[in-house]
């Protein structure tokens, strides 16, 4: 294979990966809520149980999350950032399973501490701020426009890992009061304990499945209590010599 053919092959592979990274944006766009839901899902996924086939979509979603950033949040520039281990094209890189697990463990520990203690103290990775006296290019969802009232401002991260931690910090700051642990438990007493983003003020469980499980258990308990009460009442009548449905004779 000639140098020209090799270069063309690299460009082709790079374009394919870039297309997959762009498509992966659908997993956390177009709202910050959806980005937080995706991040919680990633942090609570058992990566040790994922084979190469199952991990592949997730690694593209993680790469896209760091590359593009959550919607409505300032984007981190990765021009000088240390990339993921698997380099693809230009500044684009894809995380390995080991890298994904390492950053997942670090951020998950922060999240667990916050949920357990109700507060959290940690250091934000060092960033370099860039500001220029030109109008800012603003992206809102799938639409973009120039805002002449804002200067071009962004942060530059030293690594893709730092960028992910920064995005986690921004999302946690925004949704801290809407995060809960699911108290649902199965018949064996195993508590769900999944951390979820509540979409309404009265949401107590992470999913319909957990909610239905608790409601069904309550229904069976109420039904059993009513049956027990009816049997007890029936037994009282029988001890007095009165059968239900008959009149007492005097």
Q: Per-residue confidence of the chain (250 residues) as pLDDT tens digits? A: 787 877 788 788 888 888 999 999 999 999 999 999 999 999 999 999 998 889 999 999 999 999 999 998 888 999 889 999 988 877 789 999 999 999 999 999 999 999 999 999 999 898 998 888 888 777 665 677 787 888 888 899 999 999 999 999 999 999 999 999 998 887 777 889 999 999 887 888 898 888 887 766 665 666 666 676 777 776 665 555 555 555 555 5
Question: How far is Cα of residue 123 from the mean position of the Cα atoms in its chain?
Answer: 22
Tell me the domain boundaries of the chain. 3-206, 207-245
Residue 61 token pair = 């979603």
Its pTM stands at: 0.79
Residue 238 CB-half CA count within 13 A: 6
């Amino acid at each position: 294979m000639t140098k020209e053919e090799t270069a063309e092959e690299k460009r082709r592979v790079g374009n394919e990966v870039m297309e997959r990274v762009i498509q992966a944006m659908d997993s956390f766009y177009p709202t910050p809520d959806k980005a937080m839901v995706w991040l919680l899902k990633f942090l609570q996924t058992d990566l040790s149980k994922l084979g190469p086939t199952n991990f592949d979509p997730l690694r593209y979603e993680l790469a896209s999350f760091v590359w593009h950033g959550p919607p409505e949040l300032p984007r981190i520039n990765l021009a000088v950032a240390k990339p993921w281990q698997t380099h693809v094209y230009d500044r684009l890189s894809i995380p390995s399973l080991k890298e994904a697990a390492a950053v997942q463990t670090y951020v998950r520990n922060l999240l667990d501490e916050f949920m357990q203690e109700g507060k959290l103290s940690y250091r934000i990775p060092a960033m370099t701020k860039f500001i220029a006296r030109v109008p800012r290019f603003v992206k809102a969802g799938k639409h973009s426009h120039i805002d002449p009232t804002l200067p071009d401002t962004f942060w530059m991260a030293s690594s893709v890992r730092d960028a992910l931690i920064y995005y986690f910090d921004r999302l946690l700051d925004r949704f801290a009061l809407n995060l809960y642990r699911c108290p649902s438990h199965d018949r064996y007493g195993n508590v769900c304990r999944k951390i979820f983003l509540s979409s309404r003020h009265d949401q107590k469980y992470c999913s319909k499945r957990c909610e239905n499980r608790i409601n069904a258990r309550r229904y069976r308990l109420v039904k059993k209590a009513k049956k027990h009460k009816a049997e007890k009442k029936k037994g009282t009548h029988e001890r007095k010599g009165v059968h239900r449905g008959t009149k007492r004779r005097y």
